[in-house]
Amino acid sequence: MQVQPAPRAANDGKMGGLSEYQKFMKVNFARLKRENEGLGQKEVMAVVGRKFREMKAEKGEERSSSAEAVVVEDSEEDEGSRGGDEGVVDDVARK
């Protein structure tokens, strides 16, 4: 007896069910292929992957700097009220 897989939810042409990488590919692949006309499929995919990693790294830096600001603001506000948390700001700054 063969069991059929459960049907997937309708996507309606929206990018809701796609991963962040898949969305990036869908939006940027054609443009990057045009910009790198002489490259083959393998090389274009490498370019797209590199651009995605760069974008993720930039997002990570933005998130870490905003998280750092929140920790710094909280520790300055509550000076001394949280015994033993003095190292929290130093730990975040080292990352």
CB 55 within 8 A of CB 24: yes
Question: For residue 6, is it left (φ>0), alpha (ψ between -120 and 50) or beta?
Answer: beta
Q: Is 15 inside any structural domain?
A: no
Domain, as residue range, for 69: 20-77+88-94
Q: Is 83 inside any structural domain?
A: no
Q: Is 56 inside any structural domain?
A: yes
Residue range 28-79, pLDDT digits in tens: 999 999 999 999 999 999 999 999 999 999 988 777 665 555 544 444 444 4
Q: Is 40 inside any structural domain?
A: yes
Mean pLDDT on 16-21: 85
Report if pTM > 0.75.
no
Q: What is the 3-state secondary structure (H, E, C) of 52-83?
A: HHHHHHHHHHHHHHHHHHHHHHHHHHCCCCCC
d(CA 28, CA 36): 12
pLDDT at res. 7 = 82
- Over 90: is that where the pLDDT of 1 sits? no
Q: Is 30 inside any structural domain?
A: yes
Q: Is 54 inside any structural domain?
A: yes
Report how many domains make up the chain: 1
Q: Is 11 inside any structural domain?
A: no
d(CA 35, CA 39): 10
